[in-house]
Structure 1
Amino acid sequence: MTAAFPPGGTDLAELPTPALLVDRPRMEANLTAMAAALDAAGVALRPHFKTSKCLAVARRQLAHGAIGFTCATPAEVTLLQDAGVADVLWAHQPVGPAKVAFAVGALARGGLTVALDSVEAAAPLARAAEAAGVAVPFVLEVDTGLHRAGVDPDRAVPTAAALAALPALELRGVLTHEGHLAAHGPDRAGLEAAGDLAGRTLVQVAEALRAAGHACPLVSVGSTPGATSAPFAAGVTEARPGTYVYFDANQVGLGSARIEQCAQTVLTRVVSAQRPGTVIVDAGIKAMSSDSIATAGTLGIVCDAAGGPLDGVEFTGGNEEHGYLTGPGTSGLRVGDLLRIVPNHACGTTNMWSALHFVAGDRAVERSPIEARH
């Protein structure tokens, strides 16, 4: 349950550490900017819920014009359906008896679309849905370069034909996740070009499906690094960015955001300074994302209590409850000093916490639960 602090809020120095913070003004600015950019392009916004897993954040995204949400897990789908969200896209293959049974039940509630990329994944769901008398709206997932899930573009038409032969399935369109853009690192021009290509490739697949007689109203791209390129390919109808709500150190490294746009931080204190060049904080890997493929190169960007980056200090590693800050800048840190860390990966960090504190300036003003965690 969301809980308010006393009038005027609580000084951050009074919070137990570590604590997960979300700067409310920064978050609101991020929501406003993304909504405005996509609205100007005539592209619908369907944020990925996995970044926040917080209904208080989701309500703000809806207030900024989101048409619904993207989910990764059954728990996320359930949380949003229970909250009355009428349009949910489950962008993960519902494979296995438990997920098939869940999908049928969630589809019966209405407003759910699933992602599929093969007959092997779709057939058990189609049979179960037919037996239950439930329709299965689905999007065909297309691989535009990530090489994770998704059918190759040149296999989309025959795959759609094979899926159309199964009972209960109703094709709504095509979907891709252009996660491969992160491989371009700080080469923003290369990243933008790759995002544009992903968008155009997906549009071409949609056009081929229509030419083959399939309805394909939905053309959905999705990533925060690609949010300035892929959605603007002519013919894309919706975008599914997630991390944009908070941004993180990875997005700073990719040029998708500036440090002053990062809304999520982990509040921590220095708890030991026994060795020159290293201090220990009370935020370890259980408080952060230890994403080993993060482009940030560290566990996060170390900032002072006001959120300003500290020169010469890096978050280079951690144990479960201890974080190791290294570098010449650590000489100025003392036991008890309050710091804030911009995580390398906001989504992974969120999943480590059961609640977040909304802050404004140096005051915590509200506490909200994070739910549907693994």
Structure 2
Amino acid sequence: MDDRQRYDRATAHLDPPFAVLDLEALRSNASAMARRAGGKPIRVASKSIRSRPLLERILAMDGFAGIMAFTLPEALWLVSTGLRDVLVAYPTADRTALAELAADPVAAREITLMVDSADHLNLVDAAIGGLPHRHEIRICLDIDAGFVAFRGRFRAGAHRSPVRRPDQAADLAATIAKRPGFRLVGVMAYEAQIAGVGDDQPGNPALTRAVRLMQARSRRELLVRRGRVVQAVAQVADLEFVNGGGTGSIDLTAREKAVTEVAAGSGFFHPRLFDFYRGFTGRPAAMFALPVVRRPAPGVVTVLGGGYHASGPPGRDRLPHPYLPHGLRYAPGEGAGEVQTPLLGPATHDLRTGDRVWFRHAKAGELCERFTALHLIEGEEVVETVPTYRGEGRTFL
């Protein structure tokens, strides 16, 4: 029985649209990720999961420890439910959440904030200055891991921290160490240009060669620079962790002596954007079903909804991928629409009104912003239904 038949049979009692997660594929992906990490723990990126029960399930597997959250309110909520060791990957300007963090001894012990300048420390002090008693705030220093070449005229990687050199990192670490109420415990450097960019782009050999060249040079440069940054910061603070990497670079980042843990999230669901890497393969685990509601012309079917575009630079690679049945494509003049999506191709001939079309999202956790639940499939049946963040009434961004 192929996957389409299996998914159709397992969800026959459900009316689309809905989202599912194939548990066998999830376990296979998680096991492969843990092997790639070579014994170093993987911190689970919550933005790629966005379901508290799934976070708990993944953290119970061997090889995974800690959460990388995307907002402080999210981290506070996760800790309030019993989850522990939460690193907030992005700086926060949420004064209410900062006051809550400083007033709660459990949250202050379990949550680490991200900073890349003294301005962030000033903002925290301003937000919690009126508290009669504040708990010490754990701090992680964010380092720019982007690749810069041709005297700054070329850059690859996310625009994150202004801190790049060892001396800059040491200066900020010293500033943190002198500030009462803060404790520097970690360093993070996320190489988005390696971890988040596929090096096997189909149909574009020139781009593939350019990406591989850039990534090779970036790896060499970052290996040396990250080690020197960590060494410089360690002269000032007793570091508990050094975090780096992402799904696309787990094995490479884990080899660096300076790195104590890697971060990953997308690899669990293996969305469409992660099909294009040479170094690893995964199994599609998360997907959503939309119903066929029209047959407007021969060779055309229309499904309800579907305009679930992924974040990032606009382009066709940010659209959901019509996955099952194979052989479907978007109508050039319409693409994926808010309320309806026409699909073309030979597979339309066998689709009837009421049938399902299965889609894969381009990015992992963003799928969960469209659905309140994930139906977990084991074999040919749904064995559990778990809420997403939205299903628990939580919207953090």
Per the normalisation by structure 2, the TM-score is 0.80
Q: Mapping of 1:85-100 within 5 angstroms?
A: 85-100=83-98
Same amino acid, percent of matched pairs: 22
Partner residue, 2:65:
67
Contact 2:322 2:328 in 1 (8 A): no
Task: Give CA deviations for 1:71-94 in whole Å, capped at 9, x if unaligned.
Answer: 012342133212212211111212
Partner residue, 2:163:
152
Task: Give CA deviations for 1:278-298 in whole Å, capped at 9, x if unaligned.
Answer: 42112422xx34435378725
Q: Distance in 2 between matches of 1:180 and 1:322?
A: 34
Q: Distance in 2 between matches of 1:324 and 1:197?
A: 46
Which amino acid in structure 2 is aligned with residue 311 of structure 1? G
Task: Give CA deviations for 1:109-162 in whole Å, capped at 9, x if unaligned.
Answer: 321111111111121314555753311111100111134221332222222222
Contact 2:144 2:160 in 1 (8 A): yes
Q: CA deviation at 1:231?
A: 2.4
Q: CA deviation at 1:255?
A: 4.6
User: Would the alpha carbon gap of residues 177 and 351 (structure 1) be closer, same or farther in structure 2, given more than 3 Å must change?
Assistant: farther
Mapped pair 1:120 → 2:136: no
Partner residue, 1:54:
51
Which amino acid in structure 1 is aligned with residue 297 of structure 2? R
Q: Distance in 1 between matches of 2:312 and 2:96?
A: 30
Partner residue, 1:291:
311
Q: Mapping of 1:259-298 within 5 angstroms?
A: 261-285=283-307, 288-293=308-313, 297=317
Q: Distance in 2 between matches of 1:148 and 1:262?
A: 29
Q: CA deviation at 1:202?
A: 2.4
Partner residue, 2:191:
178
Mapped pair 1:356 → 2:374: yes
Q: CA deviation at 1:349?
A: 1.1
Partner residue, 1:84:
82
User: Would the alpha carbon gap of residues 281 and 106 (structure 1) be closer, same or farther in structure 2, given more than 3 Å must change?
Assistant: farther
State which drifts further: 268-277 or 320-329: 320-329
Q: CA deviation at 1:197?
A: 4.6
Per the normalisation by structure 1, the TM-score is 0.85
Partner residue, 2:386:
368
State which drifts further: 354-363 or 21-30: 354-363
Partner residue, 1:21:
20
Partner residue, 2:230:
206
Q: Distance in 2 between matches of 1:289 and 1:227?
A: 26
Q: Distance in 1 between matches of 2:227 and 2:79?
A: 30
Contact 2:197 2:248 in 1 (8 A): no
Which amino acid in structure 1 is aligned with residue 274 of structure 2? Q
Show structure 2 runs of 5+ residues with no match: 1-7, 147-156, 201-207
Which amino acid in structure 2 is aligned with residue 81 of structure 1? V
Q: Distance in 2 between matches of 1:278 and 1:298?
A: 22
Q: Distance in 1 between matches of 2:94 and 2:395?
A: 20
Alpha carbon RMSD of aligned pairs, Å? 2.8
Partner residue, 1:5:
none
Q: Distance in 1 between matches of 2:292 and 2:118?
A: 54
SS in 1 for 2:36: helix
Q: Mapping of 1:219-238 within 5 angstroms?
A: 219-238=242-261
Task: Give CA deviations for 1:219-245 in whole Å, capped at 9, x if unaligned.
Answer: 101321222322222221011101111
Q: CA deviation at 1:96?
A: 4.2
Q: Distance in 1 between matches of 2:321 and 2:331?
A: 7
User: Would the alpha carbon gap of residues 203 and 275 (structure 1) be closer, same or farther in structure 2, given more than 3 Å must change?
Assistant: farther
User: Would the alpha carbon gap of residues 221 and 333 (structure 1) be closer, same or farther in structure 2, given more than 3 Å must change?
Assistant: same
Mapped pair 1:242 → 2:265: yes
Task: Give CA deviations for 1:49-82 in whole Å, capped at 9, x if unaligned.
Answer: 1222222211222211322111012342133212
User: Would the alpha carbon gap of residues 241 and 332 (structure 1) be closer, same or farther in structure 2, given more than 3 Å must change?
Assistant: same
Contact 1:294 1:344 in 2 (8 A): no
Contact 1:203 1:219 in 2 (8 A): no
Contact 1:303 1:342 in 2 (8 A): yes
